[in-house]
Amino acid sequence: MLNRRLFSASLAASLLEAAAFPRRLSAASQTDLRGSIEIAPYGLVPGAATDQGATLNRLLRDAASSGMPVVLPAGDYVISGVELPDGVDLSGATGATRLIHGGGSFALSGRDLKRVRLSGLVIDGAAHPLGPDAGGLLQLRDVADITIEDCTITGSPAHGIHAEGCGGRIDGNRITATGMAGIYAIDSRALAVTGNTVSDCGNGGILVHRWKAGEDGTMISGNRVMRIAATEGGTGENGNGINVFRAGNVMVTGNHISDCAFSAIRANAATNVQIADNQCLRSGETAIYSEFGFEGAIVSDNLIDGAANGILIVNFNEGGRLAVVSGNLVRNLKLDGPYVHDGAGFGFGIAVEADTVLSGNVIENAPKYGLMLGWGPYLRNVVATGNLVRKAAIGCAVTVVEDSGTALISDNLFQDVPGGGIVGFRWNDKTTGDLMAAGAETFKHLTLEGNRSG
């Protein structure tokens, strides 16, 4: 009995202690445990009508120099010209702490820093113009380790985030209503762009570029990109959901991209790019591009529904070569695009040119060609095997221009292709009947085996 009474008393005391601890921890976490700097002495208050950029600058400098984070209470703060110091850790109440640009050359900027962390903030450009040196509402240059998370960035007349020469991560943010791109990352150092929602941007969603071709290593994964316009026009430099330019060793995986004026994913001169497991819906031009001077591309297991063209691995004339295109589902293509095309046009599923294996893809509803192998003399070492094409005007268009390189076309199934299963072309001109029926022995560069048409 004694042991039982002692046990019961001990248990009751423990339960009372456990109930009290969260209250003590909550109170302590605001000061002692969290260690955030006290804001009141600086006079920074939400709802003030005047620009508090200078006040916020003093607060951030003092906090960073003492190694303390800054936690801004909910409310609106009009700011401009905020220069982020090294080591700054600035956070707010998600969706409720709003930094509103009051005009001037820039809103927030940081340069030549080791570390910056921004979290839980709304940064609103309020459509105020930026200065010529400010590429984005949030401007970062040469920051070794950035963390931008759980922020909302909106109303920028230029880019939302302009990060040049930066590493770290941009994760879980909402970026919308920008005049240019949502995220513009240039000359990155193994940057991670993950889990963001980028929408309603004027000229691009997520851009990963370099001034000169070289290794970049950015990972772009798990983002949702939608409603991307091309207000500055062009034939592909604008209007892309994700655009990789000159950046090598970039991975674009697991993104959901819809309603882009041009491409869902466009890789230009991007060597060793991997584009996998993305969903690309209602693209205005080619859904997935790997083009111009690249060596090495893997385009696999993507779903494309609605585009002018599905997947293009092209520009062998500019050095574009070496790819694997496998396991993609491409459907519901159209003959019209956002401009008048002076080449092969629109309406085909997958086109490849050089040193490429094209296997295990499914193409449905292509008003021109299901597959397109080569363009004029630009064909070399292409293997097209195990693909299914149904409901296409022509199953596979292959170039038969003199000096074309070799192509092996085997074990493909073409169904409901009224213009023929495999047909030879000279540029845009159809010059043969169905080579599956007539035989391809006339063209020494072609090997046809085991294909079926139904």
CA-only gyration radius of the chain, Å: 28
pTM of the predicted model, to two decimals?
A: 0.92
- Residue that is written with structure tokens 């009751």 in the block: 12
pLDDT at position 96: 98
Extents of the domains making up the chain: 42-179, 192-284, 299-454
pLDDT at position 143: 98
Q: pLDDT tens for the chain, 454 residues: list them.
A: 344 444 444 444 444 444 443 333 333 333 333 478 999 999 999 999 999 999 999 999 999 999 999 999 999 999 999 999 999 999 999 999 999 999 988 999 999 999 999 999 999 999 899 998 899 999 999 999 999 999 999 999 999 999 999 999 999 999 999 999 999 999 999 999 999 999 999 999 999 999 999 999 999 999 999 999 999 999 999 999 999 999 999 999 999 999 999 999 999 999 999 999 999 999 999 999 999 999 999 999 999 999 999 999 999 999 999 999 999 999 999 999 999 988 899 999 999 999 999 999 999 999 999 999 999 999 999 999 999 999 999 999 999 999 999 999 999 999 999 999 999 999 999 999 999 987 667 899 999 999 999 8
pLDDT at position 17: 42
Token couple for 429: 């001109």
Contacts of 438 (CB under 8 A, 6+ apart): 432
DSSP assigned state of 401:
-
pLDDT at position 393: 98
Strand segments, DSSP code E, in 150-250 are: 152-154, 159-164, 168-171, 174-176, 181-186, 191-194, 197-201, 204-215, 219-221, 224-228, 240-248
From the list 444, 379, 448, 442, the residue with the least C-alpha distance to 409 is 448
pLDDT at position 200: 98
pLDDT at position 342: 85
Beta-bridged to residue 207, according to DSSP, are 184, 243
Residue 317 and residue 376: Cα distance in Å, rounded?
A: 10
